[in-house]
Amino acid sequence: MDGYKGKVALVTGASGGLGRSFCLALAKSGATIVAFDQDAAALDRLENDLQDSGSAHIVFAGDITDVEDTSELARRVAANFGRVNLLIHNAGVTHISRFADSGPEVTAKVMAINFMGAITLTYELLPMIKKSQGTIVVMSSVAGFSPLYARTAYAASKHALHGFFESLRSELVDDGVHIMMVCPSFIATQAKTRSAGDVSSDGLSRPGSAKEQPGNPMTADYVADKVLRAAYKKKTLLVIGRIAKLSWIISHLFPAFYEKKMLKNTKGELE
């Protein structure tokens, strides 16, 4: 982890369970932290911990779907540091609803946050990432490579992230920029680090809110450590956890069997 000392790391969804773990682990390693999240109250709590750690940092409360907010964040980073060595796309929402019940409106909201938010912010920061020959880490999911019941929009957003960033990787090879996709099993991210209102009336919720989770969820600290070590080693794909690894193998080799098992494990949430 000493490899992050003196680096500038920007984390989206920074005040949630996993984002917070990323920020604190990077701060401990000596990195400068830029924490971006919509939850201003939770960001204040994160900032107190970053101050206690003695790390250089900026916290920025904003909406990743708002172009003005992402542009202002990029301007502030440019003015203060002039570079980004590590960008972690961690912000995101999920939903628990069948498409027939939720419709295209929910899909549009999930895509705006999980996909277009990451694309817009990447565009704003790309000159600074190229300058530092930095690394982009994209937090995907098992739903990024396989189907998931009652998560049509969530799965679509994660599949889209793979298509975009794995293609972008080929465009940035000559610039020395590295991109890593991360597909973890279930993570215990819903610790009391957020403000109220994590689940909205239209079924949108923070990742980690699912009731039906096969296996024991991993801790956010464990996942953050695995991701940061793999990013430093410049891996292109990281599948974390026993369930994720089994899902990767089975969904590719035996897709029909995988779908049957997935339905058995998840369909009960809406019954």
User: Which residues are known to be catalytic?
Assistant: 154
- The answer to whether the beta carbons of residues 193 and 16 sit under 8 Å apart is yes
Nearest to 15 by CA among 192, 184, 182: 192
Helices (H) and strands (E) in the chain, counts: 9, 11
Percentages helix, strand, coil for the chain, rounded to the nearest 5?
55, 15, 30
Contact call for residues 60 and 50 (beta carbons, < 8 A):
no
| Cα dihedral 40, 107, 166, 265 sign | positive
Sheet hosting strand 135-139, strand order edge to edge? 57-61, 32-37, 8-12, 86-89, 135-139, 178-184, 237-240
Q: Which helix (H) or strand (E) holds 44?
A: helix 40-53
Both tokens assigned to 252: 């590719």
Q: Are 241 and 218 spatial neighbours (Cβ–Cβ below 8 Å)?
A: yes
- φ, ψ of residue 252 to 5 degrees: the values are -85, -40
CA atoms of 72 and 170, how far apart (whole Å): 28
